[in-house]
Amino acid sequence: MKLHFRQYSDSGMPLLILHGLFGNLKNWNWHARELARDFRLYALDLRNHGESPHSAAMNYPIMANDVLEFIAGEELEEVGILGHSMGGKVAMQLALDNPQCISRLLVVDIAPTSYGAERGDHEDVFGGLLSIDLSSLRSRTEAESLLASRVEERAVRQFLVSNLVRDEQSNYRWRFNLPALYNNYGRLREGVSGPQVFEKPVLFVKGDLSNYLMGEDRSMIRQLFPAANITTMMGAGHWLHAEKPEVFYRLARDFFAGEETES
């Protein structure tokens, strides 16, 4: 699948940014522009998100192969990858399947393990999204109001409705492929694994208010990524890059520049 992307700069080490579930490359515009000062920066829309093609098939090996095709299509060699949440799992899968393609990997608030209900789920989000009748929807504000009974956090509601766009008939539609995300949600909660380990530098960044990456995940991280370091951003949750953008930017810039962060 040919993924939609935006290239922000054309000099320096190639660096890819992969967004999370329900997101798109625009969510990373600020960080992409900042990191583009030092790196050849590409932000990608993963399949079924943003302006990339839609498909009923969706799992981590398939999505990792999409990114591999992008790397080959742009004639890139070793790239750095920054992946948040679902995008972090895509990046980990690619690193385990094709380690020769990646020089450095920064994984934002996600572990390689499978996720059960104890880590939270998106059932309320999916229920809210699926309940909205797009044919009669008049505005994003109305959509946010309709989501309020299922999605408590206003920032999350605003993030979700930012994916509403109008079609050629001026009717609203979701930018992401909602049926495919819903039908494959179980696959997106699976862990990642590969035929080999990834021995190059990896940095896992955890938000200390988030339960997406926990102490019990460290053993699996060390097994698959023996050179990994893990750091925690205090006072931040799962969207730590949006909550503390300057702090996260400096951390990411230093890591991809080769300045290691200790666990």
**Catalytic positions:** 85, 238
- For residue 49, give the H/E element and its range: none
Nearest-angstrom CA–CA distance, 5 and 8? 10
Nearest-angstrom CA–CA distance, 131 and 70? 35
Please say whether the beta carbons of 73 and 30 come within 8 A: no
8-state DSSP, 56: S
Q: Does residue 79 sit in helix, strand or coil? A: strand
Nearest-angstrom CA–CA distance, 109 and 86? 10
At 247, phi and psi to the nearest 5? -65, -45
